Structure 1
C-alpha cells in the first residue's frame, strides 16, 4: 500500500498560502504546499486533504483529482477523497503506472457555506520533471528524463467508472522533444516545448487544435501555423486556445461564440490568428468562455479580458436539506428548487412558487437524487 510521509499539519485556513487553484463550474480545488482543499458550493461542504509531502503538480477532471508528489501519483474521486489510488513515481525514473489502494495522512470534511472564487491568480508550481494537465475526463502526465519528454494518457474517468481499473498508455510523440508546459480545455490539450514549438492533442471540431477542422487526433500534432514564432506561454480552456510569443504578441484560435478571441474574429478560427493590439502582453490565461491578458504594469488582475461567462439565463441557486423544510426556509427569491436527501419513507422535492414551498409529486423518483447539471452552450 502506498503511504506518504507523515508531517505535522498547520492551520485550516483555505486561502492561506494557496499555490494555485483548479476552478470548475461546480467545485474548486485549492492547492497548498503539502495539502489541497476541495470546495463544493452546492453542497456547502469543504474537504481538506493532507498529502504529507510536497505537491509537484495537480489537476482535476469533472469527478476526479490527481496529485503528484516526489514519490507517488494519487488519483481520487471527489466524492470519495478518503480512498485514493496511487502508483510510484520518483525523480529520475519512469512512473510504474501500477495503481493500488492508498491512504493520505488525513482527510477532514466540514459543512459550511463556500464559493468558487472569480479572481484570477498566478500559479506557483515548484520546478520538477513532471507535469499534469486534464480535460473534463482525461488526465495527461508528462515526465522528462535526460532531456526527452514522454506523454502518458494517465487516466480516463469514463473508462475507469466502467471497468474500475486505471489503464494508462503512452501517447505517440513525433520526435524527441522536451515539454515545459501543458494546458487543457474541455477536450483538447496543448504542449509547449523548450524550443518554443506547440503541439496539440484531442478534439478539434471547433478549431481548438489550431490545425484546421480536425475531428480528433490521438497523438501529439505540431501546430504548424506557429512556425517561425518563439512561443513562451500557452493557454487553453473550453474550446479555445492561445499563445504568447517572446515579442509580447498573442495568437488565438478556436471557438469565438462569446467573443473570447476578440470582437474582430470569426465565429470559429481554425488556425492561430494574431490579436491586433498595440500593447506588449506578458501573460495569458483562459477560462471556459474568457481570455485574459496582462501587461507589465498589471498586478494579479488582468487589464484586458475578452468574452463573457454570461450564458444568457438567470442563475439558479440550489439548496440541499437533510429534512423537509418549513414554508419559510427559502427566503431568497433566487432559490428556485429545494432538494431533500432521501429518507426511508420517500423522496421529496420542493419548488418555490411565490414564496411558498410546494411539494411536487415525483412518485416515480427512487434512489438518491443526482445533483442537477445544466447543459452549457
Structure 2
C-alpha cells in the first residue's frame, strides 16, 4: 500500500508527537509511524525541568495545573549531591523539578497529535529511507511518500543512519560522543534511603554520574556516561557497586538483574546541520541532549517546534527550509549544548574527585537554602 502526506514523521516519542501536533493543527497532512504499539513501555528517568513545563504550556495550550492532573507524576524541590556515600550538598530549590512516567507522557502527546488530525501508523518499522524522493519503505511492504520527512526516531535513528550512508554526517563523530545508561524502576518502598528527593551521585563512572529520581510510587535508579570511557563488560559492575552502596542486599540486587534496561543516549554528539534537502532530524536523532546532565525531553520538544515552524514556512513559501531551521537552532538551542559540551570534561573531572567536588559544591550552592 502507498500512503501520501505532506509530512512523514518517523518516531512517536516526544519529539515526533510534538512536530506532528504543531503541523497537523495548522492543517498539514501528517503521518507518524512508529515500530511500537502505543501505549508502550518506556523506562526513562522522566525528569521534566521547569523550562520543559513552560514549553509544554506554550506548545500544547496547557497550564501547569492541567499538566499536573494529566501527566506529572511527582515533583520535588530537594536536591542531594553526593560523592559516592558522602554528601556534598543537600539543598532546597525554589523551582520544583517534575517527573513523568514515560508510558503515560508519550501516549498523552501522541493523543494530542492524533486529535489534531495526524494519522498514526503503529507497530510498523521503517526499513529504508530515500532522502532524494522523500520516501519511506516499511517492514510491512508499505511505502510512504511525502513532501517532508522528519526523523524523530531516537539515538538509533534509521533516518540519521541514511544521512551517514550518504556521507552527509560522520558516523565516527557521532559514536565518539555517544553515551550509555542503565536504569531500573523499583517500588519506592524498597528504597533503603530517603525516598522523595532528587539524588545525583559522582565517583562511580568517569564522564557521567548515577542518580535516583523519585516518582509517585516508584524510584528510577540509573547510571550513565560516555561510551568510549566505559568498558561494556563492566558498566553492569559499576551499576551493581552503586546499588550496593545504597544499601541493597545481594538477594535484592539479584532480583533486580533481569529488570535492568540499557539504552544509548546522545551525550555531546549533537549535529550542527541536521537537515538534507527536505529531511530534518530532531530530538535524540539529531543528538539534542544536554552533554552534562543528559536531559533530552526539553530539547526534543524545542527542536520539534523549531522544525515544525521551518516546515510550515517552507510549505507556504518554498526555498528557505534549511536556512530557517539552522538559524533558529543556532538562536534557541545549539549555544546551550555547545557551552555544556565545552565545560563537560572539566565538570566531571572536578565532581569525580572528592576534594575538588567538595570545594566546587561550596561555591556552587553557597547562596542556596540548605535542607
Shorter-chain TM range is: under 0.3
Higher RCO structure (Cα 8 Å, ≥6 apart)? 2
Q: Report which of the two has the higher share of strand.
A: 1
Larger radius of gyration, structure 1 or 2?
Answer: 1
TM-score by length of 2: 0.25
TM-score when scaled to structure 1? 0.25
